[in-house]
Chain A
Amino acid sequence: MKRSFCDLHLRVKPSDAKVQRFIAKAAQIGYKQISTPFSTPPTQTELVSIKEFAENSGIDFVTRADFKPRNQEDLMRFLRKYRRQFEVICILCDNKEVSRQAAKDHRVDILNFPSLDYKKRFFDRAEAELARSTGVAVEIDLKPLLVLEGPPRTRFLSSLRRETGFATEFNVPIVLSSGIDEEVLMRKPRDFASLAYLFGLQESQALDAVSTNPTAIVSRNRQKLDPNFVAPGINVLKEGKLQ
């Protein structure tokens, strides 16, 4: 079956004029779904205009929110307020307390560890075990592999190899995203998947990480956000009146 490719992390502000160029380019190089993180919930007109442009380019635009909580309470407040307003919720884990809590919470879709510092990447065995129990995915941004050189890239690859090892061991879904903010760094999805060879992912795993895994998150959440959704597998088909 033909794969449908998805990049959930293009780092352009949705309000930026650049976003249309990114959408057009993504469509040209073979993506079917893309997402750019919103910092605040978009207005209806803003969302309609982006979705319409994306649809005309043959792309499905996904709404996503990235949040970097300071502590557990901050994370809970954010999830209570915004979970039902976005299709994908990503938590940027900058400290251990937040990353553990985010991995335990079913409302979180994706964990992202933005730091290049080895000591600030908290995806270890314990984190992977928590993420497995809730089905939270771990996101890997590939931009540093394109822009870094020498020892920093070596250290980054070493961190990624360790993290993907844990994710594979505990069956935690891996999502490969570009994380790019410049058009010149855009690559075809299969090319991005080929970079996963550098940190030890097999070809099929890498292709799943740019297609099956992210699209599964989006379709699961769209189903949940549907007003007719009751529980997994149960939907309201028709409403009647009590006689």
Chain B
Amino acid sequence: MKRIKRRYLAVQLECEGTPTERELMDALWASATRLYGEVGASLTGLALIDFNVENKIAVVRCTLASLPSVRASLTALTRVAGHEATMHVLAVSGTIKALSSHF
């Protein structure tokens, strides 16, 4: 079976309060679902790898093929856990190790 290529995105969350990992992931899935529908969102392979609550930086994983659509859905996200929020992509990388060297 062909190996699935993945990409890791470091994203900076800007919002009031600190959401939990669950709330953050729900917001990410909701944004992707609103844009691409349930089937489209399921193809992105979104997963939350890490969320640092102190500096509000999260590491999100997706498939390489869905990277443009995931970036667009992160940009289109406007609310997390009921608060207005903004997500800025800090870096994109093929490995978590390389990603951490970017910021």
Contacts and interface: CB of A to CB of B under 8 A. Distances in A.
Contacts of A190: 89
Contact of B76 (A29, A184, A195, A203): A195
23 contacts: A29-B88, A145-B76, A146-B75, A146-B76, A149-B34, A184-B84, A184-B86, A185-B86, A186-B86, A187-B75, A187-B86, A187-B88, A190-B89, A191-B71, A191-B75, A191-B87, A191-B88, A194-B74, A194-B75, A194-B89, A195-B76, A197-B72, A203-B68
Interface of B: 14, 34-35, 68-69, 71-72, 74-76, 78, 84-89
A174 to B, nearest CB: 17
A192 interface: yes
B13 to A, nearest CB: 12
Nearest to A188: B88
Given A29-B88, A186-B86, A197 B71 contact: yes
B72 A198 contact: yes
Interface of A: 29, 145-147, 149-150, 184-188, 190-192, 194-195, 197-198, 203
Contacts of B76: 145-146, 195
B72 A195 contact: yes
A228 B34 CA distance: 53
Given A146-B76, A184-B78, A187-B75, 11 more contacts: A184-B84, A187-B86, A187-B88, A192-B75, A194-B68, A194-B72, A194-B89, A195-B76, A197-B71, A198-B35, A198-B72
